[in-house]
Amino acid sequence: MGEGAGNMRAVVVAGPTCSGKSALALALAERLDGVVINADAMQVYRELRVLTARPTPADEARVPHALYGVRPAAENSTAAWWRQAAIGAMQDATRQGRLPILCGGTGLYLASLTQRLAAIPDPGEAARIEARGLVETLGPQGLHARLASVDPVTASRLRPTDSQRLARAWEVFSGTGQGLAAWQDLPPAPVTDFPWSLRVILIDPPRPALRAAIAQRFAAMIGEGAIEEVRALLAQNLPTSLPAMRAHGVPELSAYLRHEITLDAAAERVRLVTGQYTKRQATWFRHRHIAAQETTHRFLARIEVSAQFLERNLPEIINFIRSAG
């Protein structure tokens, strides 16, 4: 489905965890000669194939995939890094006459394609070391309380248990003298280096269907080696503030491996935190746009599928991709 340089199209398959994004992206890539490009912040980590439900080797053999398992867990992946890598993958696909199909549930990553990211100055290594140290000494809830005393707006947007984002918020405040929320609330501006016209498919299943899918997926992950995956990750002795160490299932199975909780308790915690996360994802996609200004950017088409992906949805979706705009 190659297009001329003046009429380049790309597809975004977005939605919450367990909504069927990967299955839909795979089916579309097979039928439309596409490349599936990862837009999930956790699926970039090579050590977490099972727990992040990355495409299987069999799936990757069916159609080209990009940006899956390309970074080590010891590194902190960022939206800025992902954007540059994703645009490179999209350019490669377009040059090959293939349709770029971005698939994922990380709203900030997808929004970064067409919106200029907040120009947050580098806080510096000293601020990063300070933030990591505070997470270790105070714990995430203690750091949340300290952040609330100096940057209440940012603190109000963060969960007291989210050590990764709390560390990032503290390093920004410490290193720049201004809170993360203040930087992020600067008005977004459209970018000028994104020539593709997007066709967005948003999958938004009912909450009960998602909860059931989350439970089934985690049970399957245990059988596929999730415990062994976490054991190998822990053997690296990485800081707990790293994103990969906060992936759903890693803290819970880590506690299980330390004999602090039972496997059933770990599974229940995963179901709870993943369910809460899918609710936040769905709210983000429902109320925010991937493009900054639909009137000035060629983000002209969006379709919502109010159920998990099924083969019978395909004709409607393919017709939408081919005819929209």
- Please report, for the chain, the start and end positions of each structural domain, with discontinuous segments joined by +: 5-117+187-323, 125-184
Q: Beta strands of the chain (E only): which ranges?
A: 9-14, 34-38, 65-66, 99-104, 197-203, 299-305
Provide the pLDDT for residue 300.
39
Q: Is the dihedral of CA 42, 44, 45, 50 positive or negative?
A: positive
Beta bridge partners of 36: 65, 101
CATH superfamily placement of domain 5-117+187-323? P-loop containing nucleotide triphosphate hydrolases (3.40.50.300)
Measured CA to CA, the distance from residue 306 to residue 19 in angstroms comes to 10
Provide the pLDDT for residue 189.
60
Q: Is the dihedral of CA 26, 23, 105, 38 positive or negative?
A: negative
Specify the CATH number for 125-184; select among 1.10.150.120, 1.50.10.10, 1.10.3720.10, 1.10.20.140: 1.10.20.140
Provide the pLDDT for residue 204.
84
If you search the block for the tokens 């990862």, which residue do you land on?
A: 38
If you search the block for the tokens 């990380």, which residue do you land on?
A: 106
Q: Which residues of the chain fall below pLDDT 50?
A: 1-6, 292-301
Q: What share of the chain is helix, strand, coil (3-state, %, to 5)?
A: 55, 10, 35
Residue 50's nearest CA partner among 216, 229, 210 is 229
Measured CA to CA, the distance from residue 127 to residue 132 in angstroms comes to 9
| Helices 226-234 and 250-257, packing angle to 10 deg | 80
Amino acid, res. 103: C
Provide the pLDDT for residue 4.
43
C-alpha distances out from residue 274 to 75, 142, 248, 278, Å: 23, 23, 7, 6
Measured CA to CA, the distance from residue 182 to residue 147 in angstroms comes to 14
Adjacency order of strands within the sheet including 299-305: 65-66, 34-38, 99-104, 9-14, 197-203, 299-305
